[in-house]
Amino acid sequence: MFNYQFDWAVVTSGQYAQWLLSGIKVTIELSVVAIVGSFLLGLIIAVMRMSNVRPVRWFAHAYLEFFRNTPLLVQIFFWYFGSYKILPKVVNDWLNTTNFEFSAAVIALTIYTSAFIAEDIRSGVRAIPKEQMEAAQSSGFSYLRSMYYIILPQAVRLTIPTLINQFLNLTKNSSLAMTIGVAELTYQARQVESYTFKGFEAFTAATLVYLALSIIITWMLTLYNKHVLNPLGVR
């Protein structure tokens, strides 16, 4: 017989609801910071990957191959347990004065996602006729200025659908931060389940929140593409 007694009050009121709200706040903060960082870093790596300078191009290629082909969870553990080995002492000292677990998760999510974003943007650049770059450089623009003012704005518009997917994946991947003690949504849902044994209610609430965040991200980026990047509705 199915004798489970549902108690939705666990996730709608009281201390446990406050835990979940706190987890939502941390998830949003973690996702927003990593989304902005991964997008900017992805742009830089994409430009480096297409550079005519061989060492720069080789470095970008190695970066993409390494971070795209290693598990995100391993990278999170690496930055949490091993970052003090490779980061400058000044940076480590600063991280230790902040929320180190949060910072390690941001670094891992940013670097991991930027590798995929860089390849998406590079695909968008390759879809643009090469004559545009040639025309820009013949007009006196340098490679970097041509990319910044002419090529990348078009490439970003072309890659909006894939960027949406990357940002959605990043938001969902933020749940892995619980493994190093970041008190985000999944961590807090697990805490609620541990104290109340109401795992169905706790993780149903977490699932609905992740779904809502995904819908909001898709909606915001679609509006940005429609009203900012493509206000004339050019296809």
Neighbours of 174 (CB within 10 A): 26
Q: What is the pLDDT of residue 230?
A: 61
> Could you tell me the CATH number of the domain that includes residue 82?
1.10.3720.10
DSSP assignment, residue 87?
A: S
In a domain, 33, yes or no: yes
DSSP assignment, residue 8?
A: T
Q: What is the pLDDT of residue 94?
A: 78
In a domain, 61, yes or no: yes
Q: What is the pLDDT of residue 234?
A: 52
> Can you list the residues of the chain whose pLDDT is less than 50?
1, 232
Q: What is the pLDDT of residue 135?
A: 86
In a domain, 17, yes or no: no
Q: What is the pLDDT of residue 121?
A: 93
**Cβ–Cβ under 8 Å, residues 11 and 89:** no
For residue 115, CA distances in Å to 45, 64, 126, 195 come to 8, 5, 17, 39
**Token pair 């938001």 in the structure block, residue:** 171
Q: What is the pLDDT of residue 142?
A: 84
Give me the domain span that covers residue 130: 27-183
Gap between the Cα atoms of 65 and 115, Å rounded:
8
Among residues 194, 193, 216, the alpha carbon closest in space to that of 205 is found at 193
**Cβ–Cβ under 8 Å, residues 144 and 68:** no
Number of domains the chain contains: 1
The pTM (predicted TM-score) of the whole model is 0.88
In a domain, 65, yes or no: yes
Buried residues in 144-168 as b, exposed as e (16+ CB within 10 A): eebbeebbbebbbebbbebbbebbb
Q: What is the pLDDT of residue 144?
A: 83
Question: Which tokens hold the place of 46?
Answer: 């994409």
Gap between the Cα atoms of 46 and 124, Å rounded:
10
In a domain, 6, yes or no: no
Q: What is the pLDDT of residue 166?
A: 94
Q: What is the pLDDT of residue 221?
A: 82
Question: Which tokens hold the place of 54?
Answer: 């061989």
Contacts of residue 198, Cβ cutoff 8 Å, sequence gap at least 6: 7, 10, 11, 192
For residue 220, CA distances in Å to 40, 166, 209 come to 18, 14, 16
Q: What is the pLDDT of residue 83?
A: 78
Q: What is the pLDDT of residue 226?
A: 75
In a domain, 21, yes or no: no
In a domain, 216, yes or no: no
In a domain, 139, yes or no: yes
**Cβ–Cβ under 8 Å, residues 24 and 209:** yes
Give the residue ranges of DSSP H helices in 127-198. 130-138, 143-146, 152-158, 160-173, 185-196
